[in-house]
C-alpha cells in the first residue's frame, strides 16, 4: 500500500511537470508575439519581431485567419532556405509550378540593423521590385551555411555589405545567408526546432525545387500569459 501511494505521487508529479512544460511552450510573457509552425517533420516555435510591425501584424492576421493551414513549403534548397506561403500551393497537383501566388498587395520593406539572415531567421519573400517590398504572404526560413572570415569578406566586397562584429560571430558559429541582408525583410526567428529546418531542407526535390512529397504546414498563434 505504501509503495502504491508513492507510485501515485510520482505519477501525479510527472504529469504536472509535463503539463507545466506544455504550458510554457504554448504561452509567452515577454511582450513578443510567437507562432508555432507545425509540419510532419516537427514543430518550429517562431518569435515575431516588434521592430518590424507591418510584417508582424500582417503575418499574425493571416495566421489568425487560418490562411497558412494546409499550404506547402513549395521551394526547398538544402543549405539555403525553405520557402512557403503561396496560396496556390493548397491542394496543388503534382508537378504544378508554384511560387507566383499572392494576395494582391505588398508590404513596404522594414530593414532593421541587428535583424539579419542567421540560421532560423524568418524573412519575407518578394519579387524583383526596386522598393524591395515584400510579398503579402510568402515567407522563407533560413538554413544557410557556416562562414569563415574570408567568405564574409568576399561577400562584403562583392555585395557592398558591412557586417558588425556580432553578425560575423553569428555567421561563423550559427550560420546563415549573409548575402541576403538588407535585401529581404527579416521579421522573426525560430527559437525552438532548428533541427526541423534541416529535416525539411534535406527532403528530395523535383523541378523548381519543389519537394517530391508535399511538406504541409499549419501555423497557430501561441497565446501570451
Looking up residue 153, the CATH number of its domain turns out to be 2.40.100.10
Q: Which of 139, 103, 106 is nearest to 124 (CA)?
A: 139
Task: Judge whether 16 lies within some domain.
Answer: no
Provide mean pLDDT across the span 73-93: 98
Task: Judge whether 46 lies within some domain.
Answer: yes
Location of C-alpha cell 489568425: 64
Cα–Cα separations (whole angstroms), residue 159 to 115, 134, 145, 163, 224: 18, 20, 17, 11, 40
Is the pTM value of this prediction over 0.85? yes
Task: Judge whether 2 lies within some domain.
Answer: no
Per residue in 6-42, pLDDT (tens digit) is 444 444 444 445 544 444 444 445 789 999 999 999 9
Q: How is residue 133 annotated by DSSP? A: P
Distance CA 135, CA 80 (A): 19
Q: Which of 35, 143, 36, 132 is nearest to 83 (CA)?
A: 143
Domain holding 78, by residue range, is 31-224
Helices 149-159 and 165-173 meet at what angle, rounded to 10? 120
Per residue in 154-168, pLDDT (tens digit) is 999 999 999 999 999
Three-state DSSP state, 75: strand
Task: Judge whether 217 lies within some domain.
Answer: yes
Q: 95, 118 in Cβ contact below 8 A?
A: no
**How many domains does the chain fold into?**
1
Residue 66 in this model has a pLDDT that exceeds 50: yes
Three-state DSSP state, 222: strand
Least confident of 27-31, 111-115, 220-224: 27-31
Task: Judge whether 4 lies within some domain.
Answer: no
Provide mean pLDDT across the span 161-190: 97
Task: Judge whether 52 lies within some domain.
Answer: yes
Name every residue whose Cβ is closer than 8 Å to that of residue 44 and which is 6 or more positions away in sequence: 36, 37, 141, 190, 192, 193, 194, 196, 197
CB atoms closer than 10 angstroms to residue 135: 24
Task: Judge whether 9 lies within some domain.
Answer: no
Provide mean pLDDT across the span 206-221: 97
CB atoms closer than 10 angstroms to residue 217: 20
CA angle 214, 125, 197 (to 5 degrees): 45
Q: Which of 171, 195, 190, 173 is nearest to 181 (CA)?
A: 171
Task: Judge whether 215 lies within some domain.
Answer: yes
Distance CA 189, CA 48 (A): 7
Amino acid at each position: 500500500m505504501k509503495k502504491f501511494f508513492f507510485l501515485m505521487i510520482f505519477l501525479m508529479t510527472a504529469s504536472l511537470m509535463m503539463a507545466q512544460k506544455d504550458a510554457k511552450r504554448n504561452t509567452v510573457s515577454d511582450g513578443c508575439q510567437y507562432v508555432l509552425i507545425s509540419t510532419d517533420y516537427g514543430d518550429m516555435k517562431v518569435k515575431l519581431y516588434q521592430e518590424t510591425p507591418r510584417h508582424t501584424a500582417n503575418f499574425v492576421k493571416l495566421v489568425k485567419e487560418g490562411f497558412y493551414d494546409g499550404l506547402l513549403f513549395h521551394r526547398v534548397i538544402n543549405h539555403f532556405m525553405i520557402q512557403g506561403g503561396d496560396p496556390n500551393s493548397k491542394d496543388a497537383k503534382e508537378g504544378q509550378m508554384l511560387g507566383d501566388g499572392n494576395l494582391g498587395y505588398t508590404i513596404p520593406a522594414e530593414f532593421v540593423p541587428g535583424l539579419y539572415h542567421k540560421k532560423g531567421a524568418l524573412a519575407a519573400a518578394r519579387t524583383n521590385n526596386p522598393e524591395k517590398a515584400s510579398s503579402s504572404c510568402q515567407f522563407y526560413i533560413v538554413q544557410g551555411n557556416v562562414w569563415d572570415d574570408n567568405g564574409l569578406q568576399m561577400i562584403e566586397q562583392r555585395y557592398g555589405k558591412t557586417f558588425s562584429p556580432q553578425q560575423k560571430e553569428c555567421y561563423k558559429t550559427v550560420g546563415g545567408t549573409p548575402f541576403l541582408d538588407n535585401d529581404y525583410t527579416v521579421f522573426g526567428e525560430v527559437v525552438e526546432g532548428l533541427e526541423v529546418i534541416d529535416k525539411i531542407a534535406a527532403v528530395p526535390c523535383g523541378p523548381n525545387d519543389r519537394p517530391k512529397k508535399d511538406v504541409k504546414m499549419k501555423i497557430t498563434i501561441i497565446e501570451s500569459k
